[in-house]
Amino acid sequence: MDLARLERIYDAYAKIYDRLFGRVFDAPRKAAVQWLDARPGERILEVGVGTGIALPMYGPHPFVVGVDFSLGMLREAQACIGAHGIDNACILRMDAMRMAFPDSSFDGLMAAYVVTAVPDHRRLMAEMVRVCRPGGRIVIVNHLHHRNRLVAFGQRLLSPLTQRLGWRTDLSLDDVLAGTPLEVTRVTTVPPFGLWYLVECRNAKPA
């Protein structure tokens, strides 16, 4: 799916996204932020910040930069920042596959429900590695190909439909991490239905 079409889909979701998906995906987002364990003074990047629903979860200590390509989503995120009085975050319109940040700009990255939504997950992962400092943390929460063969078969069947809705269901964790220097430090499944994965990685790229 090309980026322009994807932007139209997520612009359309913007006003109703939190009502449709907020409660369903709230617990995994909170767990992802907790796993990231941002410390005072650290710079954190949230890739695919969407409506900003996770921004209040970081607390007052790190500085959080959120990027998204959807103007509709960013308007909602800006409203979230205002409503919660958040003064340690900013949002930018940016293609996560071609980020404008210098190398090693961030201590940690969080990406929720993004990896399977972009047109090129390999380029996204390469950019996340690039902008994260050596030894930094990258936490991903996403729907990924299930290890149960029967469930995985159903996911493959559904993938053409879900791609029309803005995401794919045929990527495995091995697919996502292939060719990257990321070392998995912990991984678990999360609700709903244990079909989503929460993954913490260490960026082992050379210093």
Number of separate domains in the chain: 1
pLDDT in tens, 15-41: 877 776 666 678 899 999 999 999 999
pTM of the model: 0.86
Q: According to the model, what pLDDT value does residue 25 have?
A: 74
Q: Which tokens sit at 62?
A: 């790190």
Q: According to the model, what pLDDT value does residue 11 have?
A: 76
DSSP 12-56: HHTTTHIIIIIHHHHHHHHHHHHHHT--TT-EEEEET-TT-TTGG
H helix runs in the chain, sequence order = 3-13, 17, 23-36, 71-84, 121-131, 149-165, 173-177
Reported as a pLDDT band with limits 50, 70 and 90, residue 147 is: low
Could you tell me the CATH number of the domain that includes residue 108?
Answer: 3.40.50.150
- Which residues form the domain of 138? 3-203
pLDDT at position 145 over 90: no
Q: According to the model, what pLDDT value does residue 202 have?
A: 98
Which residue, 27, 172, 37, 38, is CA-closest to 112? 27
Secondary structure (3-state) at 135: strand
